[in-house]
Chains A and B, each alone.
Chain A
Amino acid sequence: DAGVIQSPRHEVTEMGQEVTLRCKPISGHNSLFWYRQTMMRGLELLIYFNNNVPIDDSGMPEDRFSAKMPNASFSTLKIQPSEPRDSAVYFCASSPDRYTDTQYFGPGTRLTVL
């Protein structure tokens, strides 16, 4: 099992540019989560998908952030335009269903916005 795959692992961009982060969940998992990790706030849930449908996007910080899940094996998190305060590590996680107690995290994408 390859686990959750995220790309790129590192992204450095300039303020105002569009950033797209990618995630491939574990095959067969129905739930997908995007998290952001910062020193000050720890891990924060941004958005949750179940069966490819966004269920809870209350954690998305503002309209500059958007997420899609066009099929069961792929999801994107887009920031447009990016700002320096978006610099963080972004994790994607998946789980077999919404009630399991285990979410499986990918290795994360470290984003730096200059």
Chain B
Amino acid sequence: DQQVKQNSPSLSVQEGRISILNCDYTNSMFDYFLWYKKYPAEGPTFLISISSIKDKNEDGRFTVFLNKSAKHLSLHIVPSQPGDSAVYFCAASLGGTYKYIFGTGTRLKVLA
């Protein structure tokens, strides 16, 4: 059973608009969350993370929001650029350890 779920397999957004990627998790013990970005024929690359003691973390155009009561996190990209077109994976871990549980990914397409 998937403990980390990305229910939208794909998303299309116009350049300059906001992209919102969603992720739900089932284990309330998860305390560290990450987003990775993956381009075709490349490995995933780390994008941004958030600890469960926070509800928001921002890095440039990327912001991750965490709603612990809803067991939900989201990644906002503002403004979206064509170079952001990629597959985005969310991941969760217990105690900030190495053992990441990944979702199945959401393919973002930013239209020029």
Contacts and interface: CB of A to CB of B under 8 A. Distances in A.
Genuine A/B complex: yes
A33 B102 contact: no
Given A42-B105, A44-B102, A101 B96 contact: yes
Majority-rule SS of B interface residues: loop
Interface string A57-91: 00000000000000000000000000000000001
Contacts, number: 61
Nearest to A4: B43
Contacts of A31: 98
Interface string B42-55: 11111001000000
B103 A42 contact: yes
Contacts of B97: 98-99
Given A31-B98, A42-B89, A101 B46 contact: yes
Interface string A17-51: 00000000000000101010001111111001000
Contacts of B46: 101-104
Given A39-B104, A56-B99, A101 B43 contact: no
Nearest to B4: A42
B7 to A, nearest CB: 12
A107 interface: yes
Given A42-B2, A101-B96, 7 more contacts: A40-B104, A41-B104, A42-B103, A101-B32, A103-B100, A104-B45, A107-B42
